[in-house]
Amino acid sequence: MSAATATKTVVLEILRQDTTDSTPYWEKFELNYRPNMNVISALMEIRRNPVNSDGKQTTPVNWDMNCLEEVCGACSMVINGRPRQSCTALIDKLEQPVRLEPMKTFPVVRDLIVDRARMFDSLKKVKAWVPIDGTYDLGEGPRMPERKRQWAYELSKCMTCGVCLEACPNVNDKSDFMGPAVLSQVRLFNAHPTGAMNKDERLNALMGEGGIANCGNSQNCVVACPKGIPLTTSIAAMNRDTSVQMFKNFFGSDHMVD
């Protein structure tokens, strides 16, 4: 390591919160720079030696992580004002000081850890799964046309990271909007040959409280999504499908044709 590299530092300002109900406060840390550092590796350095920039011993910073390759969605946080995954946020590409905050859409548990139960509860509400009775052999099951399977795969990349909910101005503590990720998952499971058996039930859930009517079409979600999922396309498709479902409910499905 060269002398120039050894003296280079990384400055992090972290919004910390000791408990769910305590007052948040900023704490500053200064670390020795290493090539190819990401935000996670910087947080690991603080955990190994929890001393702030004033030279005072402090508590290690708490954050969530798992896969470290942008697949699990656990390490979401707000980095320099932008919600994203901290495992793929490279220090070399970030303006310093690097400011880390928890996502404000979800309740803070401690420091950068948030409770994403809101999103998972919404997925339960729309039955975002394919129901299968495992008591007997179903065989291979119905096949999806290749063209349909390809775009469905793009929707299946969702890792419930919560970034799109953080970016959406309509998801907040004064609204029960399910958020763009949930709407897109309804489209995914309704497109599945077996999942389509619960299509009406999912669409009716989207037509209820916190459903698609709460979307303000800001389109922040599709820009923020770390997996590049076409969320606005899904929302448009669900707008159409819920309109058709409304007429089905009113006139009766026997008189409607998809």
The pLDDT tens digits for 216-245 are 999 999 999 999 999 999 999 999 999 999
Answer for the pair 99, 112: CB distance below 8 angstroms, yes or no.
no
Residue 5: per-residue pLDDT: 46
Residue 253: per-residue pLDDT: 57
What's the Cα-to-Cα distance from 65 to each of 85, 89, 93, 151, 212, rounded to whole Å? Answer: 10, 13, 20, 28, 31
Res. 58: pLDDT tops 60: yes
At the fourth CATH level, the homologous superfamily of domain 3-114 is Beta-grasp domain (3.10.20.30)
Give domain limits for the chain: 3-114, 117-255
Return the closest-CA partner of residue 73 out of 230, 179, 225, 187.
Answer: 225
Residue 1: per-residue pLDDT: 42
% of the chain with per-residue pLDDT over 90: 83
Residue 3: per-residue pLDDT: 39
Residue 15: per-residue pLDDT: 98
Res. 38: pLDDT tops 50: yes
At the fourth CATH level, the homologous superfamily of domain 117-255 is Alpha-helical ferredoxin (1.10.1060.10)
Position 138 confidence tier, pLDDT thresholds 50, 70, 90: low
